Amino acid sequence: MISDERYVSLSTWTKEGNRKRTPVWIALLDDGRVGFTTGKKSWKVKRILRNPSVDLQPCNSKGVLKADSKVCEGGARVVDIGEKEYTLINNAIRKKYGIQYLLISFFGHFSKKHGEGCAIIISLEKETLS
């Protein structure tokens, strides 16, 4: 399953229809959706707000796709900090990534480059889940 991967490449699309890939952490919610946290002013959030279609594909921490890996298609939604789903995905990320999460969170408090946090919740198409 895509949620078992340590890193996934998130594909979003520009206004012109060009693919933009970004490596992200990913965690599974109880209902089968996946998600991650990010800054609300990041480009991936702006692109998702314009076009919620996304692709996920296993990659390494630098975004290099794993050879012969399968693409998972889905629809993404931006969730604000105060919403229940934000807490659910943030807790799932914290559990999966442990000390890495704590370090990134700690140093992230010193940078407001990408604004307040939010979560991206992705509903994957059924045929891409297996």
- pLDDT digit string (tens) for 15-26? 999 999 999 999
- CATH topology for 2-128 is Pnp Oxidase; Chain A (2.30.110)
Return the higher-pLDDT residue of 75 and 127. 75
The structural domains of the chain, with segments of one domain joined by +, span 2-128
Pair of tokens at residue 106: 């700690």
Residue 79, amino acid? V
User: Would you call 97 helix, strand, or coil by DSSP?
Assistant: helix
Model confidence pLDDT, tens digit, residues 48-80: 999 999 999 999 999 999 999 999 999 999 999
Q: Are 39 and 117 in contact (CB under 8 A)?
A: yes
Give how far the C-alpha of residue 83 lies from the chain's centroid of Cα atoms, to the nearest Å. 17
- Residues 106, 8: Cα–Cα separation, whole Å: 22
